[in-house]
Amino acid sequence: MMESARHCIRKTKIFMDTIVDIQVVYAANWSEADVTIQIERAFDSFRLVENTCSRFEPSSELMRLCAQIGMAVPVSPILFEPLKFAVEIAAYTDGVFDPAIGRKMELQGFDRNYVSGERMNHIVDDSASYRDILIDEVNRMVTLKRSMVLDLGAVAKGFAIDLASVHLQEFEGFIVNAGGDLYVGGSDVEGNPWRIGIQHPLHEDEWIDEVELLDMAICTSGGYERKSERDADAHHIIHVKTGVSPTEVISCSVIAPFAMLADGCSTALMLLGMEKRKEFIEEMGVKVMLLSPDLDVLTIGDDPDVV
């Protein structure tokens, strides 16, 4: 019996300072209008996470939390989940990865609201770290013991991808791609696994590697993505203890069951040394491709070519 026809819709919008590209493969029993409604709901997930977790908007829930020091603050699930996860990764890495890095990001020039152009300049306690963030999972409350600027940029985009993907699970296949960080569900329009390219760090329109994915996420962190306006040797991934951007690895791609895990791990692994990387990868159970300055690809974990 011949398989019913499969159709594809693709739409893009800008959220979180990146292009969000959603492709949906659907069967003939779906109307294009109904598919579009679900895609718009997926886009709404990005809008919700951005409005909640942005450190560039004084009115965001994240920045309202940063303004309340020494008191237990009830927070929404949209803020609580990525913040709790970021603190967990910080603990795993002994603070090499730290969501309290917002002020250091500002000092390196990553201080501009991409929509308004307004620059941020917060006065906070320079000694504050993830250890000053108290998480109450039972009551979903957060206490900041010292003044700090929280930055959830290493996990919030992955979290938004995961939330968006929930709205697309009924379809034959889909990709939620936010600037190269993505989750794929089901199969492509031909009924095959999605084939995903890993961007070449020197040539934006080329792939340096590729993988086939089934119901998995892949996120890449790289020093070539966002350069500092104030330091030619610095990029948006900063070692919280040294204030210096790592150079041992050009990029790190992580394959994981959900995007927030892949997103957070890709940043953490850029910051860790090789010995610690292997321990972290084993602990997290992810598959990793590291790109050296000589453009050699090192894979760690299970074979990442077909997942």
Q: Is the pLDDT confidence value at 307 over 70?
A: no
pTM of the model: 0.89
Q: Is the pLDDT confidence value at 40 over 80?
A: yes
CB 76 within 8 Å of CB 43: no
Please give the CATH topology (third level) of the domain spanning 193-300. T-fold (3.10.520)
Residue whose tokens read 């390219």: 197
**By C-alpha distance, which of 98, 91, 161, 167 is closest to 128?**
98
Query: Which pLDDT score, from 0 to 100, does residue 2 have?
Result: 41
pLDDT tens digits along 184-237 = 999 999 999 999 988 777 777 777 778 999 999 999 987 556 544 555 455 457
Residue whose tokens read 């966002």: 226
Is 296 buried (19+), middle (13-18) or exposed (0-12) by CB count in 10 A? exposed
| Distance of alpha carbon 247 from alpha carbon 238, whole angstroms | 10
Please give the CATH topology (third level) of the domain spanning 56-144. T-fold (1.10.3980)
Q: Is the pLDDT confidence value at 94 over 80?
A: yes
CB 96 within 8 Å of CB 239: yes
Query: Which pLDDT score, from 0 to 100, does residue 141 have?
Result: 98
Domains in the chain: boundaries: 56-144, 193-300
For residue 252 the two structure tokens come to 């790190």
pLDDT tens digits along 258-295 = 999 999 999 999 888 777 888 899 999 999 998 877 77
pLDDT, the chain, mean: 87
- Fold match flag (56-144 vs 193-300): no
